[in-house]
Structure 1
């Protein structure tokens, strides 16, 4: 989707206003957009992609194109700080008063109990990064040690793994890689990479490139893939352990690269040699021949970019999965292959002036990085500059996987619910007004044809979805992209909004469906993607 005008229709007799370049702040991509304001100077009359933006080049997703619902909604956006009164109601106050009172109270807590008694939540997880920048200064002034944000319940396991292996987070280059490997990720819908749909189309159309997808559903991305490893829900760890073991079993490990760039190789190889590949493929529900073929394609590639997302990060063995998927690419030497360099602005005092001038001259943005390929190894921040493969605690969990019980075969809970699937018009809790959704405004439950037939359900039926926490009413959508035994609800629902002077709730909140004890033992991330459940037709 590129530079499409949207939001509100305009009449032909309106006086056109100027297009204002800015950027979407609803995810990390920060796509460039242009906005035309309405007569009130606030309403987003039209939104389109900014072709002059150096990264997105006119590309936008549904969220950016319907930003007016976020900016203005139905009058629910706070326009000033609110202070709670003694009776529980709120009063509007000015910013100077709010900042002063909050600072005074935080300082009093620090002085009485120490900065470690204050926990900072915020400053990350979406595209508005200013909170993170200014928040760091505030934390330092208060002596705060502990911080968290929205991605704490999503990415913590992967961040832990990357910290131990690389000393820093890393991202793949999907625009230039030979093989794109998506693990629990559907970028056609969730985006997350620059101009996602354009990039996916380019990979799919190039016979010299390949796309590998691990996902229990035939997602839009999986349908484009050269290899779709349609894993049974919650069994990704067994599948990816088998893939890593195939590298060892078939002699596909790049020993020369590992000798130069990695430590802790031998314990990892020994653990993978013991993995029962055939049995793990059977557990995962993916044919061993396909698993081996996909793994060989990764091993043969000059460059591999991997993106794991919430499909595995809010699932069973999530931290182990993060570790194993990185081993699959690292054991083949596919880290930091030589690629495209970007011109920068030099070094020294004059570089800052040149960069400042470029920013002023190009309001849509500038590219300012200037890393030579060899210099990117400096990004590895381990104490010895090597990739540390041996994470002993996770290798122990890999051993324990042999005797672990795979989810999904409990007769009392015959279904596994994915609570919080990203769909075309869902956006976590950013957009409260359901009117922004062009499709499926109420958030239907996707059910496989086999399960629907077994339960006597048809499209549009109301059913009762029961989990161990509670039961909720859902609308059924029979969907042949879903496996038998797997059902899913979208994210971003369960919010209330003002309509006709009263508050109404639309859909089901995914967080209400998962028991607090169902979480990753290392990172504490909830198992939203495999909630044991059962489904039955609602009583008349």
Structure 2
């Protein structure tokens, strides 16, 4: 039953925010006069195991997500004239299954491309996509992670074999590379933690960012680099650490390999020259390096400011060298790997390659910037169809015009979403999903150490009539295709009625007898174990499998968190309205995650060292006479969030998404605050309201993320608010290693509008 607290004006429900990876625990007061569908008030959940009542201003506006846009309430089919017709679910499922099967049988299932798998808070439905993708033979997929974290993940695979996260609550020195956690969070209780660091004279904060952000305001050291020169700055920092013997020699000797060769590369660096290139005073760099070297603990965080800029994968390497060379792994206040309730991606040092362009696939995901190139060709291995779930790539990927052309070139496009997005408007079929507060949901962003937590969110509203949760959509498609052997389903259904222990043994036996069982696990659980649950709870059946995997992967840590076995963990997760700690480890346990036999970090990544040597100061300047400014396309601000907000009225400030410019640049163009300017790049142009901001460097401008959505059904008269950034970005401007886009370094010019 839902955890509901009665009040005089409505019911309080425990759930979580869905706007960033922190997924803070919240409570929502619903209005009984609107059948509970209106969110009257939102507050932090003090009982939440990781966020403890913390929330930011954005979560408080979530009624604008739930009730702010015209919801889809019927499957849609595109007709020959381009219009949409409402059809019933049975027809939609039958036709979609038949058409995906036809693509598979004609061209091969690997020509069916999957994009999505959930946003910041809806990963549970994505867990059910796997069996359907296997059934139709799909092999290639991507998501927003491929736009951001691919380079970091590839570097992590070399060092720790998986994701690492900083212990900022205890770190003596916290370093943020291209990260403004005051606005973008990523750190639990971000603003509280940042203020605690700032007020503590024994602790320090270092920010590397071309903008004087709100986090930089709180920092002891703001290394305000010239846009695009982050790599030169961090190379200089590492060179100083080595030159002045500020590294942890004991840690290096005991826990790393190849340091002697690595240090030769950095001792060759001309520190003064690199300081001049990035625009940071040599003395300031040295003082920052000395503070890092003297600290008892250091945590670092890199984010889109460097991951979507020049030299992004190299920057990930440099970031990790900072904390490795100073011995900040596996101790309080340092960097830690962590358990996972469900892995989000595949970490590997080995690459797969895309079928047409031969682009590298890191994190298991096709680089988003090459998807259109994999379609717009006559190559026989081009993608022929797409299934797009809870994502809007026609708006969120670089060079939207070309991506729309690619969608139109496909033989079949199916979109699952809650509203008619820009992507859905190009689809052949659109399937209406229940919202994140109308179904069981969760996030697999479980990054905590030593206590890691998972929050399964119970629905607080009934699904809007005509909509279905993604697990039910996939189950219907799989039934239509006819997967899952009858004997397997019969055996599992019978065992499920006898209890979990017989079910576990029966499932194991089925897996031995039928090799397809494991790949179909979420679907088989939905159809068997799920059938023993109330109808609305069927999708929680996959949690049973995740609990079983956790018990096998982290048995000691699971028991330390208070769960005697997988069944106990499953029960705790189902009942835990404020989240559940599923593993608890000690600092020493961090070493168990290191994938290398000798448990030592191999410090050399030859390809990235080669990039380091080949850095040319001229390459840091991507501007020209035609495009003399650097535009940061996607700045995080107090009233920006991901595009699941389809109601612009949620914003109380910066309602039009202003173009922020340095005073000198505005003066040179005779622009005043509130004027309208035209922003022009090599891919397009857009109008924006000007805001003059002394936090910006001369030659650097910024537009916010989350704007420019087409909020009407009329393609000829879209009601756009703010700039759709990817009408301006270029898909060819991307990292040479993993293809992440350079959204934070877009050459542009700004023109006054009369």
TM-score of the alignment, normalized to the shorter chain, above 0.5: yes
Q: Which residue does the alignment assign to 1:26?
A: 19
Residue by residue over 1:296-339, the C-alpha shift from the partner in whole angstroms, topping out at 9 and shown as x without a partner, is 21122222111111111111111111111111111111112146
Separation of aligned partners in 2, 1:119 and 1:427: 27
Find the aligned partners of 1:32 and 1:166 in 2 and give their Cα distance: 30
State the partner residue of 1:508.
Answer: 723
1:194-233 counterparts in 2 under 5 A? 194-233=188-227
Structural mapping, 1:165-244, within 5 Å: 165-244=159-238
- 1:518 to 2:518 alignment: no
Gaps spanning 5+ residues in structure 2: where? 1-6, 334-448, 452-556
CA–CA separation in structure 1 for the residues paired with 2:743 and 2:660: 15
**Cα pair distance change 1:74/1:205, threshold 3 Å:** same
Could you list the per-position Cα deviations for residues 478-513 of structure 1 after superposition, in whole angstroms to 9, with x for gaps in the alignment? 111111111111111111224999741111111121
Q: Counterparts of 1:248-397 in structure 2 under 5 Å?
A: 248-338=242-332, 341-342=450-451, 345-346=559-560, 350-359=564-573, 362-382=576-596, 384-397=598-611
Per the alignment, residue 4 of structure 1 pairs with none
Q: Find the partner of 1:480 among 694, 707, 715.
A: 694
Paired residues for 1:447-462 under 5 Å: 447-462=661-676
Equivalent position of 1:532 in the other structure? 747
Q: Which residue of the other structure, out of 67, 73, 84, is the alignment partner of 1:90?
A: 84
Contact 1:302/1:337 (8 A) holds in 2: no
Q: Matches of 2:102 and 2:680 in 1, distance apart?
A: 46
Question: Partners of 1:450 and 1:520 in 2: how far apart?
Answer: 31
SS at match of 1:496: coil
Kindly indicate whether the alpha-carbon contact (under 8 Å) linking 2:561 and 2:583 is maintained by their aligned counterparts in 1.
no
Contact kept in structure 1, 2:623 and 2:630, CA below 8 Å: no
Q: After superposition, give the CA deviation of every residue in 1:151-177 in whole Å (9 maximum; x if it has no partner).
A: 211221111211222221211121222
Structure 1 position 268, deviation (Å)? 2.0
In structure 1, the partner of 2:405 is: none
1:468 aligns with 2:687: no
Quickly say closer, same or farther: Cα 1:347–1:434, change in 2 above 3 A. Answer: closer
Gaps of 5+ in 1: 1-13
The 1:143–1:333 alpha-carbon spacing in structure 2 relative to 1, beyond 3 Å, is farther
Which deviates more from structure 2 when the two are superposed, residues 350-359 or residues 255-264?
350-359
Deviations 1:259-285 (A, max 9, x none): 222223233212111111110100100
Counterpart of 1:422 (choices 629, 636, 652) is 636
Deviations 1:403-427 (A, max 9, x none): 6432166344321111110111111
What's the offset of the Cα at 1:347?
A: 9.0
Matched residue SS, 1:368: strand
* Aligned residue in 2 for 1:57: 52
Which residue pairs with 1:492 in the alignment?
706
Give me the whole-angstrom Cα distance separating, in 2, the residues matched to 1:25 and 1:360: 19
Q: Is 1:410 the equivalent of 2:404?
A: no
Correspondence for 1:162 among 152, 156, 159 = 156
Q: CA RMSD in A?
A: 2.5
Q: CA distance change for structure 1 residues 297 and 97 in 2, over 3 Å: closer, same or farther?
A: farther
Question: Which moves more between the two structures, 492-501 or 245-254?
Answer: 492-501
Partner of 2:660: 446
Query: How many Å separate the matches in 2 of 1:144 and 1:346?
Result: 39
Cα separation, partners in 2 of 1:106 and 1:530, compared to 1, 3 Å? same
| Mapped partners of 1:275, 1:463: distance in 2 | 42
Over 3 Å counting, the alpha-carbon distance change for 1:372 and 1:115 in structure 2 is farther
In structure 2, relative to structure 1, the CA distance for the partners of 1:104 and 1:386 (3 Å cut) is farther
Cα separation, 1, equivalents of 2:91 and 2:714: 33
Aligned equivalents of 2:584, 2:206: Cα separation in 1:
31
User: Residue 177 of structure 1: SS of its match in structure 2?
Assistant: coil
CA distance in 2, matches of 1:264, 1:110: 48
Count the aligned residue pairs: 525
- Post-superposition shift, 1:104? 4.2
Separation of aligned partners in 2, 1:158 and 1:536: 36
Change beyond 3 A, Cα 1:486–1:348: closer
Specify the alignment match of 1:9 in structure 2.
none
CA distance in 1, matches of 2:324, 2:602: 10
Report the 3-state secondary structure (helix = DSSP H, G, I; strand = E; otherwise coil) of the residue aligned with 1:506: coil
Question: CA 1:96/1:346 → structure 2, altered by over 3 Å: closer, same or farther?
Answer: farther
**Offset at residue 29 of structure 1 (A):** 1.2
1:35/1:47 contact within 8 Å kept: yes
Over 3 Å counting, the alpha-carbon distance change for 1:414 and 1:477 in structure 2 is same
d(CA) in 2 for partners of 1:25, 1:305: 26
The answer (yes or no) to whether the contact 1:29–1:127 under 8 Å persists in 2 is: no
Asked if structure 1 preserves the Cα contact closer than 8 Å seen for 2:560 and 2:585, the reply is no
CA distance in structure 1 between the partners assigned to 2:128 and 2:261 by the alignment:
43
Match of residue 69, structure 1, among 64, 85, 94: 64
Residues 1:119 and 1:207: Cα distance change in structure 2 (over 3 Å): same
Aligned with residue 148 of structure 1, among 142, 149, 166? 142
**TM-score of the aligned structures, taking structure 2 as reference length:** 0.66
Give the direction of change, closer, same or farther, for the CA distance of 1:138–1:388 in structure 2 (3 Å limit): farther
Partner Cα distance (2:258, 2:89) in 1 = 53
The answer to whether 1:81 aligns with 2:295 is no
Q: For residue 21 of structure 1, give the secondary structure of its aligned residue in structure 2.
A: strand
